[in-house]
Structure 1
């Protein structure tokens, strides 16, 4: 990968990044920039012989050594969605932190504050706020596929976010599990306890989980039994009205494609329905679930 798409560039704004030597697994450069700045250093390494700046020449020589092994520099985005001034201060802080680790020969253990702290405005709807450039590209801009290719199926789409579940800790969902369609918590979130009509419960073929910030499909299941095909859960609304919920957990299997359209591992977003419009932009609707293929 040697560039971000325009859609991702528009979301990134200013960002701070790290270049890592894949041979020694060491960070050798911290930088800030916009657009495709993180990829530019490898092109600049071709001009290393014409530079007089020692630090710059050292950086580009390291890149040339990596290329000599037929390898590429590992590139990581540390944070994004910043103003130019914010990026300058973050870059300075990260460089100072790396110098502290190096000078004092400190080790880093798992941090007690495992959350990534306050998000910038540009990160608020992003599933991934840092990581390898290819992961960020996929997370911010999944490949669009028009829903018309699948609309002959009866499908339900449900919103899935990485949050705790107040009623069942087994349904607690971490961010990293959103990239694992085999996650047990993700399966429970996608298939469990939905209020719907008996007609829909009896005829749904597929249930898919969608991350609303990007429209990315994060889970996909096919109902594999005709009878029984769900568990009925009797309950009440807060006002005391009787309510029936349907749980498909025991009657569905995880899938990776539908009609030849690969859902994983290359993440996609289905466009042209209530969650994602025909231009691939996620729609801000309140409904927790939407249906496709029902008259």
Structure 2
């Protein structure tokens, strides 16, 4: 695998690059960095996810992935992060082997409906909600180009430290938190009724999982008519209720 010559590295500065499948010309990964960062990926080992698996498949055909530099001479890592995230959004996360959308997703690709929901939809104070809910933030894995199945899989997988009491039905067969709301920022993009929890990677999915089996995923049904879908969750002062880029919490 060729790398950048010393003089090239000094001229590139910060840059955004693409990994390309030479068999099809398809971009399968978008990254940002400096120096010889793109070539770090080619030291892939077993169990490093879908990007490493794609590299192994290309090499099985006696070829090497191509590195294309999309933008170079960027003045800071922060600018490179913005360009990287915009390119991921343009291609669609579901069409890449990247694990997340990158930095600044709150400013990223969104439909008119989503933007109107974010800025104009009716706020709902969490203190008025009496229903037990599991809140799951999917900021990093959400894409407006997702279909319904991809949105469902991004919401239900792959969560660590979901307590046994949260996953196991009581004596009457009821779960402590039977309803999950998927949040992008503070907007509920979908709700689901949970049927059961399973070990990560053990149910049929559009996503590939080769990681820790001690994480968890649920199966359930979409609730597109749930009263919170399309609403903004706020506190009593009208401030947005936001979680981490990716994570979960409970209400009631």
Shorter-chain TM range is: 0.3 to 0.5
Q: Identify the structure with bigger relative contact order (alpha carbons < 8 Å, sequence gap 6+).
A: 2
TM-score, scaled relative to structure 1: 0.38
TM-score, scaled relative to structure 2: 0.44
Q: Which structure would you say has the larger Rg?
A: 1
